[in-house]
Chain A
């Protein structure tokens, strides 16, 4: 069964550094998303992406964040100048636009 994959599974970085989180969505899906979940809290929407552009973003998704689909398979989330409060699990998800969103296993980001 097709699934969303994410790398790395765990990323540790120093405050102020840049990180890139990578995702490979399900191959025939056209809608891509990033969510984050701070430990013990609910899942929060960051951004949705369709047709090579952002379709919606939350107030969390400020200039520190950017997304890109550099090729036909990868979807990336870049976080510039990381802060302590960026520590969270980051989930990528994809959908065909008509059904549910399928989540990847997540990348645990730890900012020290």
Chain B
């Protein structure tokens, strides 16, 4: 039931791009993306609702393919501040807003 993320970890140089994938075995109502830095709370990045939408937030964007039950987070021209663990949170229905978080992807951006 827990969404699976890939890769588990990625190391980038500043300015490089990365893609983080989130895959569920169950039908999804929405996908949320969060970034968590060590010792801090998860920070909301964006939400994608079923309908196959794509969203952007500065140089971070995401897509949601509800048929494939997958979402991808795209980080372009990465900055040092992008470092952290990225979690997808999946919601199976819109009634309770219960989020099931994925396994996480550790992103390290180096100078």
Contacts and interface: CB of A to CB of B under 8 A. Distances in A.
A91 B42 contact: yes
B36 to A, nearest CB: 8
Contacts of A56: 96, 98
A44 interface: yes
Interface string B77-103: 000000000010100000111111111
Interface residues of A, number: 23
B99 A105 contact: no
A102 B101 contact: no
Given A42-B103, A44-B101, A103 B96 contact: no
A104 B98 CA distance: 17
A105 B43 CA distance: 10
A55 B95 CA distance: 8
Interface string B7-45: 000000000000000000000000010101000111111
Contacts of B45: 100
Given A33-B97, A48-B96, A101-B89, 11 more contacts: A33-B99, A43-B87, A43-B101, A48-B98, A50-B96, A55-B97, A100-B32, A100-B46, A101-B44, A102-B44, A104-B41
A100 B44 contact: yes
Interface in A11-51: 31, 33, 35, 42-45, 48, 50
